[in-house]
Amino acid sequence: MKHACLLLALCLCFFARGQLQLDPWLHSLQHRPLATWIEHSGPKPGLTQAVAWGRYDRLSGGISWNALGPQAWIMSEIPVRGAAELAFGLGWDGLRPQILTRWHSGPWVLAALPLRGTWSATWRQRQTSGWILTAHVEQNVIALRTEWTVGIERDQLALYASSLGRWRAVLNHRSMRIAVGGGRTTWSSLGYATPAP
């Protein structure tokens, strides 16, 4: 309980422009007790940000910091029938609050940020070869932008490519996480994650 209260207080202190990150290459971090990383994207000078996620029981949250300021969000999961889970949360985007929702059942994960006009759907299924096949779609109905992403994942390696020309390669070694990417902009990340319980 003490850890949950600490996580809640930390997130509330940094609420500013928070949003739930929907990218499929972050899926493996969602059930880690703690994950932190630094990432850099774009042509020079680009944008560098530091990110930290935390999870305790059914409470999760995250904070990030870049040149544009801090961001944060927090979510709580509610078990529903069968193996399905429903999660609700809050964040801040500029001067506006955000509502975060996520539903997870079997191979499907649906997420929505209704005040930003963004939703996503992810399908993830383990194949007989041992690889996990991933298909992800994310749409912003305000900006009229849709991105499809496909990927293959294993414990140590994951590869992704999107319809907007983005690609990612993620290497996991014990608690270390190294990722690189490209497309319209270059992208790199170095992180640490505690083992999943």
Length of the chain: 197
43-75 confidence digits (pLDDT tens): 877 889 899 999 998 899 988 888 877 788 899
CATH topology of domain 2-193: Porin (2.40.160)
Beta bridge pairs of residue 79? 85
Res 12: pLDDT: 31
Query: Is 70 exceeded by the pLDDT of residue 20?
Result: no
d(CA 87, CA 77): 4
70-128 confidence digits (pLDDT tens): 788 899 998 887 778 999 999 876 567 889 999 999 999 999 999 889 999 999 999 99
Question: Could you tell me the CA-to-CA distances from 196 to 22, 51, 87, 174 in Å, in that order?
Answer: 20, 18, 19, 11
Res 14: pLDDT: 32
Domains of the chain by residue range:
2-193
Beta bridge pairs of residue 113? 118
Res 81: pLDDT: 78
Q: What is the mean pLDDT of the chain?
A: 84
